Amino acid sequence: MIARLLYRALWPLLTPLVKRYLRKRARKAPAYLQHWDQRFGRDLPQGDGREVIWLHAVSVGETRAALPLVKLLRQQYPTARFVITQMTPTGRATALELYPDAEIRYLPYDSAGNMRRFIAALRPKFGVLMETELWPNLLHACRAAAVPLFLVNARLSEKSLRGYRRIGVLIRPAMRALTAVAAQSEADAVRLRQLGAANVQVCGNSKYDFTPPADKLALGQDFRQRIGQRPVWVCASTRDGEEELILRAWRAAPRGDTLLLIVPRHPERFDSVATLAAELGFSVQRRSDEQPVAAGTQVWLGDSMGELFGYYAAADVAFVGGSLLDFGSQNEPDRAGQRRPAGADRAIHLQFCRGRHAGVGRRRGAAGRRCRRAGVGGAGAVAG
């Protein structure tokens, strides 16, 4: 109880820091300043008389993973109003594209007042949290309002468990507010139970239940028509720093007329990645120019939102970003859903490790471990 009171008392102090953080992010991604009042509990949902099904998916991956679940819930509750909340602009954009008939909003930050007002205004029949969104005041507000709350597609790493255990006196009572938990694996289930969750069942990863929408498959065919008969290697959801590694390795590799299609994960980096590719000597074209890909184009930049499945559908081989550097990787099922081979993942690691980057073979930590797993660790790889 004392921990919860301290947590509640901290939020008035944290709120100015959160606003400063959002303004800082907005320097590169102006969308962080949009729908500001939703984030701070001032712009609340309005009822229309229908029962409400509420689902929270923090960002892009969780929003996509929710698609099979939302489809089933719509069949079960055909007249309900669906409200889907996010925390990031990219997640919001994905939700608007995937769920055009749902109400898309930001979830307020986790002050007790924000959450109490949000749940009172929303009055959902039940709520669904995707993966591991454990906001104590949100969980307590749902329990106080007698709103059943489910944590689905739940995952919890050993590292995250250790972190949550440090604030166990705050998290354990909040976990008891969950009606049920659907874990991705037995290991996740064990860790969630250790954190205080009850009624935990293993249901697998909903991302593998996803079927790409027909319009995205058609978009992939359109991309192939623009590209022509050339082989296509898609590097998707790449993170800051990875594009340079990919481009330098690609420049040194025998590649024939293969087209490299790079899709940065965050839209605020589209321009900088295009500039980087041009500075490294590549002929660059952008998807946003709406033109056929010229025969001399070496790098095609996927500078669009909501079209990732179309890019994968156009690929011969795909690489999933967030894995060259220590970002934890992005959604492998997105690529697997298109049945695209991932052999290039190993190839790019080999190029990265084999002397294209001075001293890589002697690197320590995550980068060094990746090189050794690729079979080229040690200083000899650099010399080769």
DSSP, residue by residue, 257-288 = TPEEEEEESSGGGHHHHHHHHHHTT--EEEGG
Residue 75's Cβ-count burial label (10 Å; 0-12, 13-18, 19+) is exposed
Which domains can be identified in the chain, with CATH numbers?
A: 2-11+30-209 (3.40.50.11720), 214-378 (3.40.50.2000)
Q: pTM for the full model?
A: 0.71
Q: What is the pLDDT along the chain (384 residues), one digit of tens a residue?
A: 788 899 999 999 999 999 999 999 999 889 999 999 999 999 999 989 999 999 999 988 899 889 999 999 999 999 999 999 999 998 999 899 899 999 999 999 999 999 999 999 999 999 999 988 889 999 999 999 999 999 999 999 999 999 999 999 999 999 999 999 999 999 999 999 999 999 999 998 877 766 777 888 899 999 999 999 999 999 998 999 999 999 999 988 878 899 999 999 888 899 999 999 999 999 999 999 999 999 999 999 999 988 888 999 999 998 888 878 765 555 554 544 444 544 434 433 333 333 333 333 333 344 344 334 433 333 222 222
Burial class (CB in 10 A: 0-12, 13-18, 19+), 3: middle
Contact 50, 80 (CB under 8 A): yes
Cα separation, 239 vs 319, whole angstroms = 12
Pairing of strands 103-106, 126-130: unpaired
Please count the other Cβ atoms lying within 10 Å of the Cβ belonging to residue 20: 10
CA atoms within 13 A on the CB side of 29: 15
The single-letter DSSP state of residue 236 is E
Q: How far apart are CA 263 and CA 273, in angstroms?
A: 9
For 243, which DSSP code?
H
Give the SS3 label for residue 132: coil
Q: Would residue 196 be called left, alpha or beta, if left means φ above 0 and alpha means ψ between -120 and 50 degrees? A: left
The structure tokens listed for 41 are 């509990």
Matching residue, tokens 């559908």:
313
Active site positions, annotated: 62
Closest CA to 108 of 178, 43, 175: 43
Does residue 200 sit in helix, strand or coil?
strand
Question: Can you say whether the dihedral through the CA atoms of 92, 98, 100, 103 is positive or negative?
Answer: negative
63 near 69, Cβ under 8 Å? no
Characterize the bridge pairing of strands 149-154 and 232-238. Answer: unpaired
3-state secondary structure (DSSP) of residue 235: strand
